[in-house]
Chain A
Amino acid sequence: MKKLSRRSFLYGAGGAAMALPWLNLTHLSGAGSTVASSPVRMAFYYIPIGIVRSAFFPNQDETEYKLTPTLKPLEAMKHKTTLITGLDRIVQSGTDVHAQCGSCFLTSAAPNEVKNSAYPLSRTLDHVIADHVGKQTPFRSLELSCNSHKDNKESVYFDNISWYGTGHVAPSFRNPRKVYRRLFGTQGIKDYRDITDIVLEDARSFSRELGVEDRQKFAEYFDSVRSIEKQIDKIEQKKELIAKVEMIEPDDVPLPRREYIRLMGHLMIVALQNNLTHVATMMVGPERWNTPTMYEGVFDKPKSHHQLSHAQSKNQVRHDLEAIDHFHIEQFAYMIQKMDSIKEGERSLLDNTVFTLGSGLGDGQTHQYNKLPIVIAGSGGGSFKTGRLIKCNDGTPLANLWLSYTHLMGINRKRFADSTGLLKELGVEKRD
């Protein structure tokens, strides 16, 4: 890894575009895949607290539609995106709506389907897919959250969309430096190999001392240690891959929000590009979490996304909310443009990815779980047509889209969560 001067990273005022070397992807050579072997990557970009629908969804029909003010940043990449309207999730009463809309977005289990849990939460889509494709890569999956709050205000359900299963979170990284070290660090981990055998043996006898329920919970230990073993086995492969990556370790300095999100995005892109993982999730912010956040360059004072969402009947507040939505789309647009600039044979990294933007709430004010905002960037290696607006009938389960994704990734299943069938309108053809 090439060391660059760190001085140039320090951010200036205003949060305008700055020359941050780590954001400059054009220098990356990477271990770009050849056409023949381009794997499909699956990534998610989660927006908390819903969006202002009126400024998000276009009124036009499917063929010729204009991007709404909120979606404007996607203009240059419109031909590579797919906007879907009309998808729904069903709420299960008994938990906070924000906690549930985020934590259950990618699981979409039917209400009361999951026993012994207040949340309709089972293994989330990203992990179901990682079960299938994760063996090929050093990391099964990557979970990121752009949550910069310092107060320990909300529970784990507000800050994570990726779950191994009921009550078992796949915790997300908030700190770019830690992501970097996880992705590119190889030191030490090899030494663990000598220890894993010992502790697994110990764990087996320990497990026998536990009651039934505790034993179920304790499975997390075996899963975690074995997952590390697999990573160690792939370490040589990983070393080869990351030798080609030119990226320097981020400093541990708080960044303005825009740069923070982009840096996390960049880390995700580098991981996907270099086949360190094929599955990634990123929350652009946590659910609810009332604490005001500074959106540099958007507002001059910290604002609470959640509080704004409940006051949007006021015009000024709605404008502010739309500005936040726009800001989030802008960062998504930045990421997909970067991904499109990375060539993989005749296609780009973006083309070979299914990168889905979405929120667990259609509307933040009323906590509606219907008419969810969904934008797909990329086409999973040409698995479906892009540049379209797909209007689903109201009430179409979000899980239908997820089911289509499992098929796209080569998983043959009849049902995913509360799906009623494939999302036919997307027209996924199974890839070989």
Chain B
Amino acid sequence: MQIPCFILAMLIVTFCVRTDAADDVLRSAFKQHCFRCHGAEKTQGKVNFVKAFAAKSEGLTSDLDLIEKIIEVLEDKEMPPEDEKQPMESEREGWVSQLKKTLNKHLAKRSALNRVPIRRMNRFEYNNAVKDLFKLSRDPFALPERTVRDIGGYFKPATGKMPSTVVVGNRAMGKSQFIGKGNTLQGVAAFPKDNRAEHGFDNRGDHLSLSPMLMESFFALSQSIVNSPEFSRYSKTWETTFVAPDGMSKEQLRAEGKNRLKAFLRRAFRKDVSDKTISLYFKRFLQQFDKGISFTDSMKAAVSAAMVSPRFLYIYSSSGQGEISQTDHNFQLASRLSFFLWNSIPDDTLLDLASQGKLNDPKELGKQVDRMINDQRLKNFCDSFALQWLQLDLMIATVPDNKRFREYYFGGPNNMVYMIGMHMMIEPLLVFETVLIENQSITQLIDPDFTYHSEMLKRWYKHDRRKGRAEVTSIRFKRVPIKDRRWGGVITNAAVLTMTSSPLRTKPITRGAWLLSSIFNDPPEPPPANVPEIETDDEKIEKEGLTLRDKLKQHVTHQECATCHKKIDPLGFALENYDAVGRWREKYRTGLSIDSSGKLFNKHEFKDVIGFKKAILIEKDRFARAFASHLLSYALGRKLNVSDRPSLDRIVTNTAKDDYKFRTMLREVILSESFINKATTKMENH
């Protein structure tokens, strides 16, 4: 692990320029425990303490992220490495508490949180914004990323209850999910899907940019949407925005056009619009209307122009120099809220409250959050956040070997056309939606007392070779209680277990890395270069009389590798009883026995996956914090850093007080300082 070493170096520098006694203790401790590998004899992780000391550079305490990271590696006993001399428990605790003090002192001194940077809408948001702006009863264009297709109308958050049977399709992997009309607007073409940031989401401000090509798409969309032959039929704003009222004179129609535009622009630009801005787009209306073009087409022209305005395409926070006005902050909050929970523009209620300056009142804000969670548009949050958090789109390109795992494939003339992955992918998403809608504890995501199974999936888990009804277009999922704790939740489901395997065997390291990233929000560094590949077929490994664990152990001989793998591998091996397509196995195929025991965070020993889940639950604050971090990062469209620490502390504490309920956590995320952040123009370096 390179980063912690680096941090140690930074800290030494930090402490060497400070003088109080506690720091001296730390300094000498680090000298004793860290110097040898970092400067004296080696420069592990490209860090040279000696040099750092000689430089005596100041100001490194400003990199508080590094201090935060070192607290983590000390707490988890990742450093010093296992085969090095270990400090006494009390010493270690002393260092950690000293570091925390330093950290908090500096955090308190810091005035500004990181800004939420300006960014354009991503594809998913653009689609939803257009849909809500025109109150369309369908998506403008096809979105395979909206994986769970709600066929039976199951998603009703206001009821606070998920039905026991739901009928869904899988838009990414199922059959006929887009064919025919009834899903999108004719003649409207999507722009390319936005990539996810590494260990992040697809709404990150530093990743979303605009190009001439994309701008051309926005121009084309702005016209093709309102001019789609189906637009008038599916837009509930058609009459009120585009159709001329009967019996009006030209002059009256002009005034009418202006009024309508004013109302439209407020919704499109998500704030009260200045007269100057209105007149700009009204000019476009007049250009057409005064040429003798119809009221409807003139409105379309003005509306199209507004749809390529930056005020529509961009989500932004800061406003001018210095302090922003109360009203501006309110409107910013309205957008931040709606893009977080709905992936879309705010509705009139939010805009009205913002306009009255009431939205930043915590009470009102909490009320709005409850209302928004009960709204149908919450589905957008589930579609976008859950899939990316769990990286479930990896399922699409996962291809278990079609001989070894022949039964993974089914349908079509050769029984090879579809993959049962299309069922698997749905299960954890339904569990996620249920925990949210029913406001259950987020620990249910790890170790739930229910899950949803299709007939095929139920048989799959039971190793039943008869597939049952081969549903490929609409799939019926039934809620089933979980009595056997090996199953259910976002970890031990066939989708995650399959997508973290290779075609011919499980990949414990990949599984471990997935757990670290998704469940603990602590993604490992990518492997260094020149790591020899391990045999990709477990059959061949087992022919040597070795289990995969033996083989990996041989593999991880270098100390440099061991530091990371000690953290990654036990997590992955905890899941080793699940084969490469997510089914339980007691032994390897050759009869070798499976060892899924390990230790979580160097603290909690476990014998099997049930013990592993129990260990995670002992560390549930840690999971809660990781989950809150994912949510907050997603909500803000930026990477988190140490300045968000106080917010996260509060979110976790308050959520824990309310039995870790999901909706409570969402509310706490929104009420946090990081989220409410009244943007100033100050920006920290990333």
- Shortest Cβ distance from residue A140 to the other chain B in the assembled complex, whole angstroms: 8
Q: Compute how far the CA of A188 lies from the CA of B227 in the bound complex, rounded to whole angstroms.
A: 12
- B310 pairs with A211, CB closer than 8 A: no
- Shortest Cβ distance from residue B500 to the other chain A in the assembled complex, whole angstroms: 12
A96, A168, A171, A212 interface centre (most CB from chain B within 10 Å): A171
Per-residue contact bits, chain A 101-141, to B (CB 8 Å; 1 contact, 0 not): 00000000000000010100000000000000000000010
> Which residues of A345-383 are within 8 A (CB) of B?
365-368
| A194 at interface by CB-CB < 8 Å | yes
Q: Compute how far the CA of A159 lies from the CA of B192 in the bound complex, rounded to whole angstroms.
A: 13
- B209 pairs with A168, CB closer than 8 A: yes
Number of A-B contacts (CB under 8 A): 174
- B117 pairs with A217, CB closer than 8 A: yes
| B304 at interface by CB-CB < 8 Å | yes
The interface residues of chain B lying within 8 Å CB-to-CB of A194 are 284, 287, 301
Count of chain A residues with a beta carbon within 8 Å of a chain B beta carbon: 70
- B209 pairs with A150, CB closer than 8 A: no
- Shortest Cβ distance from residue A347 to the other chain B in the assembled complex, whole angstroms: 31
Other-chain contact of B316, A118, A153, A189, A210 (Cβ < 8 Å): A210
Other-chain contact of A211, B198, B309, B320 (Cβ < 8 Å): B320
Do A152 and B318 contact each other (CB < 8 Å), given the known contacts A169-B209, A211-B115, A311-B532? no
Which residue of chain A lies nearest to B277 when distances are taken between CB atoms in the complex?
A202
Q: Compute how far the CA of A118 lies from the CA of B199 in the bound complex, rounded to whole angstroms.
A: 15
Which of A219-227, A268-276, A327-335, A390-398 lines the interface with chain B? Answer: A219-227
Q: Compute how far the CA of A189 lies from the CA of B679 in the bound complex, rounded to whole angstroms.
A: 37
| B657 at interface by CB-CB < 8 Å | no
Q: List 25 A-B contacts (CB under 8 A).
A: A93-B46, A116-B685, A150-B396, A156-B207, A167-B206, A167-B209, A168-B211, A174-B192, A188-B223, A194-B301, A195-B308, A202-B309, A202-B310, A203-B310, A205-B277, A206-B310, A209-B320, A210-B118, A211-B320, A212-B321, A214-B316, A224-B212, A228-B215, A231-B212, A365-B530
- Shortest Cβ distance from residue B586 to the other chain A in the assembled complex, whole angstroms: 30
| B676 at interface by CB-CB < 8 Å | no
Which 8 A-B residue pairings sit nearest by Cβ, starting from the closest? A311-B533, A211-B681, A224-B215, A211-B318, A227-B212, A367-B529, A214-B118, A151-B397
Q: Compute how far the CA of A93 lies from the CA of B283 in the bound complex, rounded to whole angstroms.
A: 52
| A76 at interface by CB-CB < 8 Å | no
The interface residues of chain B lying within 8 Å CB-to-CB of A410 are none
Do A199 and B394 contact each other (CB < 8 Å), given the known contacts A99-B198, A205-B276? no
The interface residues of chain A lying within 8 Å CB-to-CB of B529 are 97, 310, 365-368
Count of chain B residues with a beta carbon within 8 Å of a chain A beta carbon: 64
Do A155 and B216 contact each other (CB < 8 Å), given the known contacts A198-B281, A218-B314, A310-B531? no
| B602 at interface by CB-CB < 8 Å | no
Q: Compute how far the CA of A157 lies from the CA of B195 in the bound complex, rounded to whole angstroms.
A: 9
The interface residues of chain A lying within 8 Å CB-to-CB of B277 are 202, 205
Which residue of chain B lies nearest to A208 when distances are taken between CB atoms in the complex?
B320
Secondary structure type dominating chain B contacts = loop
- A171 pairs with B397, CB closer than 8 A: no
| A33 at interface by CB-CB < 8 Å | no
The interface residues of chain B lying within 8 Å CB-to-CB of A192 are 219
The interface residues of chain B lying within 8 Å CB-to-CB of A171 are 192, 211, 213-214
Q: Compute how far the CA of A96 lies from the CA of B531 in the bound complex, rounded to whole angstroms.
A: 16
- Shortest Cβ distance from residue A13 to the other chain B in the assembled complex, whole angstroms: 14
| A317 at interface by CB-CB < 8 Å | yes
The interface residues of chain B lying within 8 Å CB-to-CB of A228 are 212, 215-216, 219
The interface residues of chain B lying within 8 Å CB-to-CB of A366 are 529-530
- Shortest Cβ distance from residue B320 to the other chain A in the assembled complex, whole angstroms: 6
| A424 at interface by CB-CB < 8 Å | no
- Shortest Cβ distance from residue A257 to the other chain B in the assembled complex, whole angstroms: 15
Q: Compute how far the CA of A237 lies from the CA of B680 in the bound complex, rounded to whole angstroms.
A: 47
- B310 pairs with A220, CB closer than 8 A: no
Other-chain contact of A155, B196, B284, B396 (Cβ < 8 Å): B196
| A241 at interface by CB-CB < 8 Å | no
- A195 pairs with B305, CB closer than 8 A: yes
Q: Compute how far the CA of A195 lies from the CA of B686 in the bound complex, rounded to whole angstroms.
A: 36
Which residue of chain A lies nearest to B527 when distances are taken between CB atoms in the complex?
A310
Which residue of chain B lies nearest to A153 when distances are taken between CB atoms in the complex?
B394
- A291 pairs with B397, CB closer than 8 A: yes
- B213 pairs with A199, CB closer than 8 A: no
Q: Supply 4 further A-B pairs (C-beta < 8 A) apart from A199-B310, A210-B118.
A: A118-B686, A154-B195, A198-B280, A211-B683
Other-chain contact of B223, A152, A191, A213, A311 (Cβ < 8 Å): A191
The interface residues of chain A lying within 8 Å CB-to-CB of B287 are 194
Q: Compute how far the CA of A157 lies from the CA of B526 in the bound complex, rounded to whole angstroms.
A: 15
- B214 pairs with A198, CB closer than 8 A: no
| B145 at interface by CB-CB < 8 Å | yes
> Which residues of B312-360 are within 8 A (CB) of A?
313-314, 316, 318-321
Other-chain contact of A210, B198, B202, B319, B532 (Cβ < 8 Å): B319
| A182 at interface by CB-CB < 8 Å | yes
Q: Compute how far the CA of A225 lies from the CA of B305 in the bound complex, rounded to whole angstroms.
A: 13
The interface residues of chain B lying within 8 Å CB-to-CB of A174 are 192
| B393 at interface by CB-CB < 8 Å | yes
Which residue of chain B lies nearest to A165 when distances are taken between CB atoms in the complex?
B209
Other-chain contact of B533, A152, A188, A199, A314 (Cβ < 8 Å): A314
Do A152 and B532 contact each other (CB < 8 Å), given the known contacts A182-B216, A228-B216? no
Q: Compute how far the CA of A208 lies from the CA of B311 in the bound complex, rounded to whole angstroms.
A: 12
- A155 pairs with B145, CB closer than 8 A: no
The interface residues of chain B lying within 8 Å CB-to-CB of A26 are none
The interface residues of chain B lying within 8 Å CB-to-CB of A213 are 115, 117, 318, 681, 683
Other-chain contact of B193, A152, A218, A314 (Cβ < 8 Å): A152
Which residue of chain A lies nearest to B529 when distances are taken between CB atoms in the complex?
A367
- Shortest Cβ distance from residue A328 to the other chain B in the assembled complex, whole angstroms: 21
| B416 at interface by CB-CB < 8 Å | no
